[in-house]
Chain A
Amino acid sequence: MARHCGVMAAPLARRAADGARRVCSAAAQRPWKLFGAMCLLRLPRITQPLEKEEEEVAALMEQIELEKSHYSDHEIRKLEEEEQLRRKKESLYDEDEARGKTVIMAQDLEEKWEQKFLHFKAAPRITEADKSNDRKSLSRKLDSNLMLLVKQKIGNQDLWLLPQVEWQPGETLRSTAERAMAMFLGDHVQAKVLGNAPYGIYKYKFPRAIRTENNVGAKVFFFKAYLQSSDVPQTELKADYLWVTKKELGDYLKLEYLKKVNRFLLDL
């Protein structure tokens, strides 16, 4: 056991995970099975819509700013040209005519910009995946974090979990989590793991029937990663996978597990 500790300490070059060291010593006293799980997050693409009060405040502030602000160059030019037009209509001013014809009027510029704006089409905020509630697609809730859940067989039960895989002696817990991710999503998934320290831990004891002296229970260490690429190729090995938000986790995870997972999930 001490030998294993030594081998594990070497790869933890500059940033040590205290959790891993503690686990190493605990394993010597009470053997737990170790798992590394990966919480893969797809970052939000658009901002969340404003609340009613926020919108009201924003509108009020904009109005205040508009009323307090000075005229911009364009607006001054526009006002001057309107003045000139008005004077031309009332009494014929020939001196300004020659100048006025060669220069583009500010009003024309504005109309041109309006036309351009009308041509522009923004992408929809609520995609079709939202409407159909397709939980397998990545383009669902664009304004919140999406997490990967897979169905795994633990013991003799099929449970929805964050992808996890057992720790092999001689590798860091972070690489275990990366291996779990690679197992479910393929090797070439572009994810950026945040830090070497685990974000959370969930430990449970096996039911009395299976429990032995050397096999009390299991500890699952959670790591977080951000999905860099916008789309994951559909080469998922296990068929049952889902991308869910934090609120929808309750539909799938068990209560104790959910409590531990919710502790490290940041959902603003």
Chain B
Amino acid sequence: MMAAVPKVLCSEKGVLLRQVFALSRFLSHDLVSYRAATARENRLCAAGDAFLGCHRSYRSRPTHGIGRFKYLLPKEVPKRKKEKVQMKEISTGTEYQYGDINIQMTSYDLCLVEHFAQYVHRLCNRLSIRVNESYAMPTKTNEVLFLEERGSKMQLDAVLTTHQRVIQIRGLSSTFAPILLEVIQSNQPEGVHLLMKQHTEADFKSRLKSRPELEELLAEIS
């Protein structure tokens, strides 16, 4: 009896499975023929095995929408275009820390100053000093004119471009700060000016472009 029942179940299941298989085969055959009719280039489908390549999930397939996940994530607040004011840490406690410090490197040579900025950034990463931002200030172009007064006035031109890179650091402890300064200074290449100063709002504002039309309109209103 016991032996018989499982057999029955099995057989039933088998029959069921076979039925399902047949049904699915029937459906897939339909699909295959349909696809073959519409897209002759689809070699995979025409190869013989019906299931190769036809994995597109239609709305009728149980796997429809299998990759969806956006509905599970929390809703994103749309970003405001306006820039927020920067934060500054006030030094307290026995382990005195500096707030935001800007390391500004200026030079006439672009490659040199960029490589030095990369070096300083990597050094801070290695010493586990948090680097807030690492940005470049716009380049300034200076034209040098020589006025030679020997008979005819000649003007010899030279065009000099000044490049500046800034690395912003936070959380530098006061015991470590002079060591960092010494390391950076001893690795300073020729021709690069180094400046370490506290970050102020004026520094932040200098990066933003002023909009003269907006200011004019504001002046007109007020």
Contact = CB atoms under 8 A, between A and B. Distances in A.
A103 interface: no
A148 B156 CA distance: 47
A172 to B, nearest CB: 14
Contacts of A43: 185
Interface in B174-222: 174-175, 177-178, 181-183, 185-187, 189-190
Contacts of B94: 16, 18
A197 B181 CA distance: 14
Contacts of A268: 186-187
Q: Main secondary structure on chain A at its contact with chain B?
A: loop
Interface in B93-152: 94, 96
Q: Among B91, B156, B175, which residue has the most Cβ atoms of chain A within 10 A?
A: B175
Given A266-B182, A266-B183, A47 B174 contact: no
Nearest to A46: B190
A11 interface: no
Contacts of A15: 96, 174
A70 B133 CA distance: 33
Contacts of B178: 194-195, 197, 224
Contacts of A196: 174
Contact of B182 (A16, A18, A47, A194): A194
Interface string A7-24: 000000011101000000
Interface in A39-68: 43-44, 46-47
A117 B102 CA distance: 37
Interface string A118-143: 00000000000000000000000000
A21 B53 CA distance: 76
B188 to A, nearest CB: 9
Nearest to B94: A16
B190 to A, nearest CB: 5
Contacts of A197: 174-175, 178
A80 B183 CA distance: 49
**How many A residues are at the interface, by size bracket?**
10 to 19
Given A15-B96, A16-B96, A195 B177 contact: yes
A268 B91 CA distance: 32
Nearest to B183: A266
Given A14-B91, A14-B96, A195 B175 contact: yes
A177 B185 CA distance: 23
Interface in A70-124: 112
Contacts of B181: 194
A196 B96 CA distance: 11
Q: Among A44, A47, A194, A195, which residue has the most Cβ atoms of chain B within 10 A?
A: A195
Nearest to B111: A65
Contacts of B187: 268
A145 B186 CA distance: 9
A47 B187 CA distance: 9
Contacts of B182: 194, 224, 266
Contacts of B189: 47
A57 to B, nearest CB: 14
A14 B1 CA distance: 91
Contacts of A112: 156
Contacts of A14: 91, 96, 174
A14 B182 CA distance: 21
Interface string B51-94: 00000000000000000000000000000000000000001001
13 contacts: A14-B91, A14-B174, A16-B94, A16-B96, A18-B94, A44-B186, A194-B181, A195-B174, A195-B178, A196-B174, A197-B175, A224-B178, A266-B182
Interface of A: 14-16, 18, 43-44, 46-47, 112, 145, 194-197, 224, 266, 268
Given A224-B178, A266-B182, 12 more contacts: A14-B96, A15-B96, A16-B94, A16-B96, A18-B175, A47-B189, A194-B181, A194-B182, A195-B178, A266-B183, A266-B186, A268-B186
The 6 closest A-B CB pairs, nearest first, are A194-B178, A195-B178, A15-B174, A197-B175, A268-B186, A15-B96
